[in-house]
Structure 1
Amino acid sequence: MENSAHTSPAARNTPAAFFGGATIGALGGLIGLGGAEFRLPLLIGMFNYAALEAVILNKAMSLVVVATALPFRTATVPFGAITENWGIVANLLAGSLMGAWYGAGWATRLKSETLYKVIAALLVAIAVVLVMGHDATTTGQPALAGSAQLIAGVVAGFAIGIVASLLGVAGGELLIPTLVLLFGADIKLAGSLSLVVSLPTMLVGFTRYSRDQSFAVLGKNKRFLLVMASGSVLGTFIGGLLLGVVPNAVLLPALAVILVISAVKVWRHT
């Protein structure tokens, strides 16, 4: 796996890292995502980290965003509403934990050029899911019930776990539509439930990545990591405050456009 980084330390300045982290964290706190799908193109395009290094850094910062976004959202979605749906969380985790382990293993074996292409393709797929998946959020009716729903939940969780590990993301962009369409969850509740599922899923992928030599990127970039993560925490707080203010009908299409543009930039990255 090719993991060399080409940007000088000066180009990875702390103000840009903090501002970028804060902006992405706000998006994550607002929607219920880790924000990593937006941070990854930034790490590759602006800060010029190699693909696998960017994925590992992305996952580390996503853990911070996910862990802080959940309590920041409690004013709108209380913990009681989350615990009432523990069965749904367990259903998705049954698949996502396995998917996260396998996905991280595949990522460490891919060549940099291939991983860039995979990342770009997944970003476009996520953009489509964000727009199409959330169009059906007004029904509130689960697509399946009983054992069929249980099996579908495990399969969906497995696929989401793989994508989350390959991109270093929390997986909320896929979890939220799944929670809404498959389980009939309210859009705001789905955002918080996705964070609960994402945290252990990401920890499993993170553990798998720790076996690869590219994991050393965390130690070599502690200052950058801490600054961008600090910005992310501030952003998630702001995003939590904005929850319910910004309409999804406006926000989601805009985010999808950003993802497509980011995918093009990642695809062209050398």
Structure 2
Amino acid sequence: MASQNLHLPHKQEEKLINEVTEAIAKPDRSPVMFNVWGIGGVGKSTLLRKFQEGLSDRIQGKQIDFAAITFDDNYATPLDVMVALHKDLPPIPFLKRDVLAKDIFSEKYKTYKETLANLNNAPVKGKEKVESDQLDRVKQLTKLLANAGIWVGKTAASGGVGNPMTEFAASVTTSAVGSVLDLTIDGAASALSLKDKLMDELLLKHEATKDAEVRELMLDPLPKLTQAFVESLVNHAHKTPVVLVLDTYSKF
């Protein structure tokens, strides 16, 4: 019976491995992103797996750290994607660690999660227990993160490049584009109004958010955690080359 894992290498696969090998050897003069595309079932995921094996074999004597995810899995927010990639990335060996290898993302994400738990479980100043209105505010705080990617996508409709919303806006009528922009403005205004309420009714009253930097993190978590994630990747790459493999599902 024929093997179900049969794989026949193609010229395109060899070309991809060669180009990424050169990119790792000369990062300042090479592209940082390679796109593998094709119809569903053509073998993109298999190619990516074989690519990792081939690249590791090609660069002998030099470690490469891979972090791979597939969007077949459920990622509700961009932060879920960052957390999954970060967990899949091997830690820097102890002997290689120094100031440049600092894991900023872990520290900031830990602060975010612990602060969120404290806001949910400990009462605000002047209260003996956590009341329902406080729990409602904490739920609204978590929605800021969940909705952040949606608002970013809508904002890109006003002129972003390469965003699905931009392509949609370009294909419909002027009135329809106006409706999308109205939603963007309404969404942004609602977010600002909500942030004001959360600041006044929760964050300024709670011991867990007495620090201004922590309050800013809780009100605007996605950009701050994204910046920390990128900085951590850069710091990691100073010690060991990093390759992120993002296997997107066909529906995206």
TM-score (structure 1 length as normaliser): 0.24
Structure with greater Cα Rg: 2
Q: Where is the helix percentage greater, Structure 1 or Structure 2? A: 1
Q: Tell which has more relative contact order, 1 or 2 (C-alpha 8 A, sep 6+).
A: 1
